[in-house]
Structure 1
Amino acid sequence: MRSSLNYLLCSATVFALGACASTHPYPARLPMMVDTDLKSVYVPCRIEPTKKDPNHIACAPEAYVSPLVWDGVNNSLFRPLARVFAVDPAGEAVNVNAFDEVPDSAWFTNRIGTHPITVEELQRGACEPALMLDDENAGDGTWVIDQGKPNGASPGFRVNLPGKGKYMFKADSKEQPERPSAASVIGAAVYHNVGFYTSCEQIVYFKPSMLKLTPGLRFEDNSGIERDFDQKALQKVLDVAAKKGDRIRMQASAWLPGRLLGPFQYDGKRRDDPNDVINHEDRRELRGGRILAAWLHHFDAREQNSMDSWIADDKKNPDSSPGYVRHYYLDTSDCLGSEWDWDEISRRLGHSYLLDWGDIGSDFITLGTRIRPWERLRRSPGHEIFGYYGVDEFVPDEWKNEYPNPSFSRMSEHDGAWMARILARFTPEMVQTLAKMGEFSKPDNTDYLARVLEGRLVKILERYLTRTSPISDLRVEGTRLCGTDLVARRGLRAPAAFRYSAHMASAKGELLSGPDLAVEDRGNGDFCVNLPAVPEHYVHVSLADGLARGRLIAHLYGPQEGRGYLLAGIERPDPGAP
């Protein structure tokens, strides 16, 4: 079996075994922590002519071109119509291991969800030291512009720096100065530290004299027309950019490694990637990404703002096999309150799709008399650069992106809770650091952004960590089962609100060692349960914190031949489940 197909087989096995109460739903081994889709594979070779070599041989997947408008039309119109007649039950995500987590893969790498990160790591994001730009000491004419920026909402150009590589420079808008570049840096740092692959994003301040324009450049605008990128076009970009003294402020995005293959899709699979065996809409990280997008108001989380890259084993030959496809999130510049040219649309973002059939039907039935949340929105005086990005009207489980996203639409309660458990690791101090990374010229904007980020995050945690169990970091320490309550750790409730309880049962559901086990509350959300020695080979330990409606069930193999308990699996049943 190759790659994540193992998940499908395991899921079927667990379902079959779980139907019989005398069997064990989890095997006596550690769960899958790393997906095999990171292993290199071979793909067929083909002739792919280039400007330099008409007989060029490529042994990598073919590039996918995503039309700018098609994805929106397809997901807003054709997909909803097709689903009316489709039999497509939305079950739980497939790529989840025995600990109810997502293994490291070509899509996602566990970072803040599994280990603490430093302030430096948070700020650095995906930027390795070699990718950091020295905008203070660069000499005149050392930043060579070799390409105009093709299409997109933000004007810009590409800079090629010897020894560092290529960077796409993008300017802020005059209507919302500093917000797009801040959103790019903050958003990319958040996505990276959560676990997604992103580009290295930086805010740079440079003198125009540092730029050197390569003659004869052309670029393609949003209408698909090729135009000259000359000194006049460059000056037009620099004129709209924010400034600090004699320096231009822009966002610099480092070029991704490998052979770029175009965007990934939020449904289906890449047919030319042997590692891609799970439908994308059934991947928990893509489903749970809806909650992350809601926090940052990343309404533009769509196909065009992603990228697949073929990472060949031979770094000198990016078109060669073997290799594997890595999947990136791109362009978070629309986060934190981006606005459209039409105020009516800007207000609706996050509350309603651009073409929202449900809202259209509701307005038809109510004759438009219902007051919508976006009608109550107001920009915060003095902080207009953030548009309608706020807290009061934010409802996490009702948030919508620009138009339906197939993965977001299939998000389950468990997918959302998984992402919320990761986001709970962002402390108030870390949120403050994120706001400072925007490098706003007005300190009031930094303070406002920190308040909104914290307020929206608290709403997300309140919604998703008080239903299914918020207990995480479960582990066996000697004769004790220990864990961390993320609601308590994040300080969402006073310590007196928690009443921890635990009991042990056999595989058949019979209580063992009395109704309750001794629980030691260590404070700050940490606790341990004493595990008694029992003759049972396989036991369940049910944990509750007295606050969340759901509980956690730990599956353990009992002590054998002097060895302690083995934690084999974790379940978070829906509230009210038997």
Structure 2
Amino acid sequence: MNSRYGRMSAALLTGCTCAALLVSAVLVGGTGRKFYDDDPIAIEVDTEDASGAQPWEIDLVWDLSLNTFARPGRTLDPPRAGNINTIDEVPDSNWFTNRIGARPLSTADIARGPQTGEGPSGQLTVIRPKQAGAAPGFTARDERGDVWFVSLDAAGHPDAATGAIMVANKLFWALGYWQVENYLIAIDPDRIAIADSARMRPPSGSNRPMRKSDLDAVFAHSHRRADGSYRAAAGKAIPGTVLGGFKYHGTRPDDPNDIVPHEDRRELRGLRVFGAWTNLVDMKAGNTLDTLIEENGRHVVRHYLQDVGSTFGVGAHGLHDYDEGFEFLYEGGILLRRLVTLGLYRSAWQTARYEDVPAIGRFEAEAFEPRTWRPRVPTSAYLRARDDDTFWAARRVAAFTDEQILAAARAGEYSDPNAAPYLARILMARRDRIARAYLPAINPLVDFALNAQGRLTFANAAEAAGVATAPQGYSATWAHFDNTTEDTRPIGTETTGAGPSIEAPPGLPTGAGAYIKVQVRALTPPEPSWAVPVDVYFRRLADGWKLVGLERRVGGGD
């Protein structure tokens, strides 16, 4: 975990013993180590048993009001993300799994996404009405006994909601989030049964058995195809005991492994970029889900982005409103401008142009500005995203090839032959805008390595993405690094290179276990931020050097 925060918290969680308190006091006093033998951590292991976690309900009205008006956790100088490892990356965990940009993904991998099977088997039997989400639907069990959450397209909007669910499901899986297995299915209303145990509570009335008329009402609000069938997205029930959603601020009090405030988790801050790319406007606790599962002999909580369907230009009931993605539900400053100018003030959404592709809806790239994109309601994690968080996220968006994006778009299986190519084209254009907005904003050097002969190599993420020109060269300053006191002692003089490769000066340590610190910056950079060095740390092994640390210097979030 990043620095001392995660290690100290983990120590305290194992028991408030005198020994643990003594260890934490020593660490706070600065006599611990900056890097440990297992750095950089690749997997964030949940070490504590969370079997005491209990289901909870988040009051969504209160959560919306809190995030709209109070905006918990907002600060002009947010801290560095709390769950990154020592090389500025997010480890795999029950929150996130590194995929795009971290390992090869074929177009077939993207098209499959989280799917592990073939979808519902045989006849569906409705076991209860739909309990979450705005799209028409119900909960059913198939002939294998698997439970499915079925969502249909709204009447008059064929393929729109179900297509968005399928495409976004693939993209967010590739980005690294835990996702529900979704499958497209065709439903014949005459072949749907209702379980004797199925019950529902109408808006006015008491709990009663579910009737065929209740199911007919669902289909009445759904799009009926020419052959009489209904297209639906079937999401497989998530393994484990459902605990309810998670908030974008604070921690879950009954999960001993949940030690990093959610507003400081990088993968949640990164949704500021991923949400902008896909226009995920409905970013809220109600679209998340925690489950209690058994892993490595203990119970732990797994965290899902359960519903990412309110993406692109459509929602559960049809097209997004024109201002979605451009403004929060409430923006006092904009309301005041419109009042003062008697309505003459114009926002970007009022001049945006959309092509007539109903299945995709109001989704475009010309008026899109990544840094000013807005969900309906700002979350704490969204507000606390720093330049190093958005750089991390933008690298993942930029890692999608045109072919991978098209493969995801085709997963929507749109009946309109223009829909998938149009969606892919807009996603590609928004990808490029995100890369231009975020990759050059800080020193974009990545993939550092130091060979046994003392040659330092790296890459420039902004240049590689084609959104910035290369500087005239790079410089590096070298120093011995004391892993306990964090003191440094210079090694030779500054060295330079015309490209992303620099020779070390004579005098690098040769003994195993030695540490060095290298500060790398651009010479005559195209962006002022590139003159601010990236600090990288290496530990000497018997056969060479291992990268153990990377730190970027950034200001506060915007």
Q: TM range, normalised to the smaller chain?
A: 0.7 to 0.9
Amino acid at match of 2:40: P
1:101 maps to 2:89: yes
| Aligned twin of 2:281 | 299
Answer yes or no: is the 8 Å Cα contact 2:154–2:316 preserved in 1. Answer: no
> CA, structure 1 residues 194+265, in 2 after alignment: closer, same or farther (shift >3 Å)?
same
1:333 maps to 2:309: yes
| Aligned twin of 1:288 | 270
| Aligned twin of 2:300 | 324
| Aligned twin of 1:349 | 324
Q: Number of residues paired by the alignment?
A: 525
| Aligned twin of 2:154 | 173
The two structures have a TM-score, normalised by structure 2, of 0.83
Answer yes or no: is the 8 Å Cα contact 2:156–2:223 preserved in 1. Answer: no
1:565 to 545, 551, 557: 545
Matched residue SS, 2:456: strand
Q: How do 1:435-454 residues align onto structure 2 when only pairs under 5 Å count?
A: 435-454=409-428
| Aligned twin of 2:58 | 66
Q: How do 1:40-59 residues align onto structure 2 when only pairs under 5 Å count?
A: 40-43=48-51
How far the C-alpha of 1:417 sits from its partner, in A, is 1.0
Amino acid at match of 2:185: V
| Aligned twin of 2:198 | 217
Q: Aligned equivalents of 2:8 and 2:399: distance in 1?
A: 27
| Aligned twin of 1:419 | 393
Q: Aligned equivalents of 1:12 and 1:241: distance in 2?
A: 63
Amino acid at match of 1:300: D
Amino acid at match of 1:91: P
How far the C-alpha of 1:422 sits from its partner, in A, is 1.5
| Aligned twin of 2:225 | 243
How far the C-alpha of 1:541 sits from its partner, in A, is 4.3
Answer yes or no: is the 8 Å Cα contact 2:538–2:549 preserved in 1. Answer: no
Tell me the alpha carbon deviations over residues 396-417 of structure 1, each in whole angstroms, 9 at most, x when there is no partner: 1111111121211111111111
1:261 maps to 2:239: no
Matched residue SS, 1:374: helix
The two structures have a TM-score, normalised by structure 1, of 0.80
Matched residue SS, 1:346: coil
Amino acid at match of 1:133: G
How far the C-alpha of 1:558 sits from its partner, in A, is 6.9
Q: Aligned equivalents of 1:246 and 1:298: distance in 2?
A: 31
Answer yes or no: is the 8 Å Cα contact 1:308–1:327 preserved in 2. Answer: yes
How far the C-alpha of 1:234 sits from its partner, in A, is 2.2
Q: Aligned equivalents of 2:498 and 2:300: distance in 1?
A: 49
Q: Aligned equivalents of 1:296 and 1:330: distance in 2?
A: 16
How far the C-alpha of 1:295 sits from its partner, in A, is 0.8
Matched residue SS, 2:216: helix
Q: Aligned equivalents of 1:228 and 1:65: distance in 2?
A: 24
How far the C-alpha of 1:309 sits from its partner, in A, is 0.5
1:30 to 27, 39, 42: 39
Answer yes or no: is the 8 Å Cα contact 2:140–2:147 preserved in 1. Answer: yes
Q: Aligned equivalents of 2:10 and 2:478: distance in 1?
A: 27
Tell me the alpha carbon deviations over residues 279-337 of structure 1, each in whole angstroms, 9 at most, x when there is no partner: 111111111112111111111110000011011359xxxxxx94011111011221111
Answer yes or no: is the 8 Å Cα contact 2:246–2:288 preserved in 1. Answer: yes
Amino acid at match of 1:30: D
Q: Aligned equivalents of 1:15 and 1:349: distance in 2?
A: 46
Answer yes or no: is the 8 Å Cα contact 1:427–1:490 preserved in 2. Answer: no
Matched residue SS, 2:419: helix
Answer yes or no: is the 8 Å Cα contact 1:503–1:515 preserved in 2. Answer: yes
Instruction: Give the aligned CA root-mean-square deviation in angstroms.
Output: 3.6
Matched residue SS, 2:432: helix
1:149 maps to 2:126: no
Answer yes or no: is the 8 Å Cα contact 1:157–1:168 preserved in 2. Answer: yes
| Aligned twin of 2:518 | 540
Stretches of structure 1 lacking an aligned partner (at least 5 in a row) = 44-59, 315-320, 520-526
> CA, structure 1 residues 227+391, in 2 after alignment: closer, same or farther (shift >3 Å)?
farther
Amino acid at match of 2:62: W
2:98 to 92, 107, 110: 110
Answer yes or no: is the 8 Å Cα contact 2:87–2:549 preserved in 1. Answer: yes
How far the C-alpha of 1:388 sits from its partner, in A, is 2.0
> CA, structure 1 residues 225+87, in 2 after alignment: closer, same or farther (shift >3 Å)?
farther
Q: Aligned equivalents of 1:417 and 1:118: distance in 2?
A: 24
| Aligned twin of 2:436 | 462
Tell me the alpha carbon deviations over residues 10-52 of structure 1, each in whole angstroms, 9 at most, x when there is no partner: 999999879xxxx996567631222232x35154xxxxxxxxx
How far the C-alpha of 1:167 sits from its partner, in A, is 0.8
Q: Aligned equivalents of 1:13 and 1:407: distance in 2?
A: 31
Amino acid at match of 1:6: R
Amino acid at match of 1:214: A
Percent identity among equivalent residues? 26
| Aligned twin of 1:429 | 403
Answer yes or no: is the 8 Å Cα contact 1:28–1:566 preserved in 2. Answer: no
> CA, structure 1 residues 225+71, in 2 after alignment: closer, same or farther (shift >3 Å)?
farther
| Aligned twin of 1:504 | 477
How far the C-alpha of 1:184 sits from its partner, in A, is 0.9
